[in-house]
Amino acid sequence: MGKGTADGSLQRAYEAMVSSDVVPFLRARGFDVSGPSFERERGPLYDMINFQADWHNGTMAWHGFFVNVGIGSAEVDTACPGYKRVAHPLKGSLLQHRWEHLVPDLPYEVRFDHRTDMRQLAAALCDGLDLALAEMEHIGTTKQLVRYAVDNNLLIEYDKTCRYLAAIDDIETLTEYVTTLHNCFGRQDRWSIFDRNITTAVGRWARVLRERGVLGPNTASGVFKNVGQQ
């Protein structure tokens, strides 16, 4: 374990770098800043960038942070009224990742210490953000974003994705997605939670999904299946 930095000097160096280098860089690309998060609108989509502090900061001889990226859709949000996860920095985006998921050469965590050249770090950080943004911009429409979610997301916003597909009456893509979820989680005990959440999300389409065998029967009998097995 390294010597801590209780005087906050590394935190101040981080804040100065963000203020003088990162904020202008992202504002030039259409982002607004709110604390450790940045957001911009891109047609019907919105892009999110969030810097997540390492919880060891202040106790080690280094300072670290993670870069989270997200893409959401105003069209999806409109079709899913009341669906909010305000506490999460990426706010219900259908794409939610660390930046190295989009660009594998980027670091899992950005760390620096008192020996670090902060100008070089700022330049490398902005270069990395540029690479991540280029990957994010490959998704340009709500349709592409939802397709990404169907192809890639298992736990991330699965119920919101289902709700949107139900709202636009895309039963074939909805069936495809719920089938993927069922194939992955259907034999696990927690599938009952998935089943319940999906049933609530899709409304009238739940009957069709049951008929297609990807949701369970509409029955409460399973609630008492373990009663008496003491």
Please state at what angle helix 142-152 crosses helix 158-167, rounded to 10 degrees: 130
Contact 4, 58 (CB under 8 A): yes
The predicted structure's pLDDT at residue 86: 57
Alpha helices in the chain (DSSP H): 9-17, 23-27, 74-79, 99-102, 118-136, 142-152, 158-167, 171-185, 191-202, 206-211
Q: At what angle do helices 171-185 and 158-167 cross, to 10 degrees?
A: 160
By CB neighbour count within 10 A (0-12 exposed, 13-18 middle, 19+ buried), where does 140 fall?
middle
Predicted confidence at residue 89, as pLDDT, reads 77
Per-residue confidence (pLDDT) for residue 216, from 0 to 100 = 87
User: Which pLDDT does position 219 carry in this prediction?
Assistant: 47
Mean pLDDT by 10 residues, the chain (230 residues): 66 96 97 92 96 94 97 94 70 93 98 97 98 98 98 95 97 98 95 96 97 80 43
Q: What's residue 85's pLDDT?
A: 58
